[in-house]
Chain A
Amino acid sequence: MTRQLVRAPLLGRDRVGPLYHLLSFDLEREVEAAPGQFAMVRCADWGHAPLLSRPMSLVEGGRRPTILIKVVGEGTRRMALAAPGQPFDLMLPLGNRWSACPEGVTPVFVAGGCGIAPLLFFARELRARGTRPVALYGGRSKDDLPLDEDMSRVSDLRLLTEDGSRGVKGLVTALLEPALQEVGRKAKVYTCGPHRMMAAVATICAKLDVECEACLETPMACGYGVCLGCPVKTSSGGYLHACVDGPCVDARTISWNR
């Protein structure tokens, strides 16, 4: 699908708990986007400040692409205040998609916070094929598990929080080994979330010789391969660029120790 820059009005903004917002946009034409791909997003009226677009994983594609945001700075703060009808500039679809889960292999998802976005998109796609992934989903507290209900409809979902306010208390990675043993046959792990979580997931998968794909998140200025602002160190000592070489990458190709 050709990448395009489109101006589109905000269709809806739904608060998801105290920290997150789900934003959907009303495009004139369908954009074929796949799970794992992302969009560069900014409000059309920002002028020179904030200057850059924000990279956001897609929760849905099509005519009404959807993103999940957490307020972390000025850009997301303004997005969280946007009213329906307000114009946004979106560049999409960008990056690659999650690789396919082969026949007879169980997909096991490990998500942290906002990392749920590309995995929910993927789970919905898998459902259409009759596949139901195992999904381990963790956050700091009960407020950091946005879209958990949506995810529970399309996966075998297990929740964890660091403070024990919801689900099992602990880090999401604690459940990964037991989950892989429980699956009992071949599994493929897909993970998206904070760097440290994905690093731990990658380590466990490497130890158990389970295939693992990670959806990377880094700062980026352009989203299409020219600013070179999103390098991620590879295990062979070079860099790949999250925007065009990813964001979905084989976890073994990444040097996770920063």
Chain B
Amino acid sequence: MESVSTMSPDQSVNIGSLALKNPVLTASGTFGYALEYDDFFDVATLGGVCTKGLSLEPRLGNAPNRICETASGMLNAIGLANIGVEAFCRDKLPTLRNRGVTVVANIFAETIADFVKLAGRLDRENGIAALELNVSCPNVDKGGIAFGCDADMSAAVTSAVKAATALPVWVKMSPEAGDVVGVARACERAGADAITAINTIRGAAIDIETQQPRLHHRTGGLSGPAIKPIALRIVWDLARALHIPVIGIGGISTGADAIEFILAGASAIQVGTANFVDPCAAQKVKDGIRTYCERRNLAVRDLIGKVRAP
């Protein structure tokens, strides 16, 4: 018989009314539709997966080159290429549902009306745990970051989507809003169930041989370990200011990185660019968090926001 002391500490966390079996999710745009991982590991063991950003209609995305590596990070300007919400519901969701994967549908639209349509469409499906609103994509001309840098617009999108669905609604913040806390507070007042922070930060790179930008789109979103300190600072600020849970994302590639975000106040975290380097990265982050908790005999919930004064 197992004694209490050898039991693994509880890894579950709550994001509002939604219980996750552990705090590790995969970030939208870095994990496809999660069915690409069959060769590598069982994605149902994760706290959840955030889908590639879904739009009402399929999107081709931007012309290449779409990516380039930078110091400890990468720039991407994919342009929200995706199969569209109908193909997702028809071709991907049933399999994810059968496997017991916790699916967070990340959605993107250029207008509030289309955000509402997307939310209404997904609300009719079984097997979706929450919606994540992408109001912070830096690589599209309309919608995206233009919504996410404006508190009133972000709040308007949030309240309109909340009215269209019974699903929990998470809003994904751009780090480029002058006042990220202000935008997040506006979303909280508008009914958001959680805030995801952060999306990528716009950057650029130029090839000095061709004297052209390395990305066809000229600029792209910077991600990876390079942005982790910025993400951590923003998550920390948000956790202190908000009453709703914060989901931390930005450069997390190890359990240690994740623990930093949790101590700063994140109730869950997302693994993004690290998935490209190692398809099992999220699983390893999950194991790293568990090991940390076991060493201290603490549940994950006991660590949230427990950063100490210097």
Contact = CB atoms under 8 A, between A and B. Distances in A.
Nearest to A42: B277
Most A CB contacts (10 A, CB to CB) among B69, B72, B76, B81 go to: B69
Most B CB contacts (10 A, CB to CB) among A4, A5, A89, A221 go to: A221
Contacts of B73: 51
Contacts of B226: 48
B64 A51 contact: no
A44 to B, nearest CB: 11
Given A222-B275, A227-B276, A229-B78, A48 B224 contact: yes
Contacts of B279: 5, 91, 222, 224
A5 B279 CA distance: 8
A49 B40 contact: no
B276 A52 contact: yes
A197 B55 CA distance: 38
B72 A221 contact: no
Given A5-B278, A52-B276, A218 B64 contact: yes
Contacts of B71: 49
A232 interface: yes
A185 B290 CA distance: 65
Interface residues of A, number: 30
Interface in B242-278: 253, 273, 275-278
B72 A49 contact: yes
Contact of B61 (A5, A48, A239): A239
Contacts of A42: 277
A62 interface: no
B222 to A, nearest CB: 12
5 contacts: A50-B69, A52-B69, A52-B277, A226-B36, A229-B67
Interface of B: 29-32, 36, 39-40, 52, 60-61, 63-69, 71-74, 76, 78, 81, 224-226, 253, 273, 275-280
Question: 7 shortest A-B CB distances, which residue pairs?
Answer: A229-B67, A226-B32, A48-B72, A222-B276, A221-B276, A48-B225, A3-B39
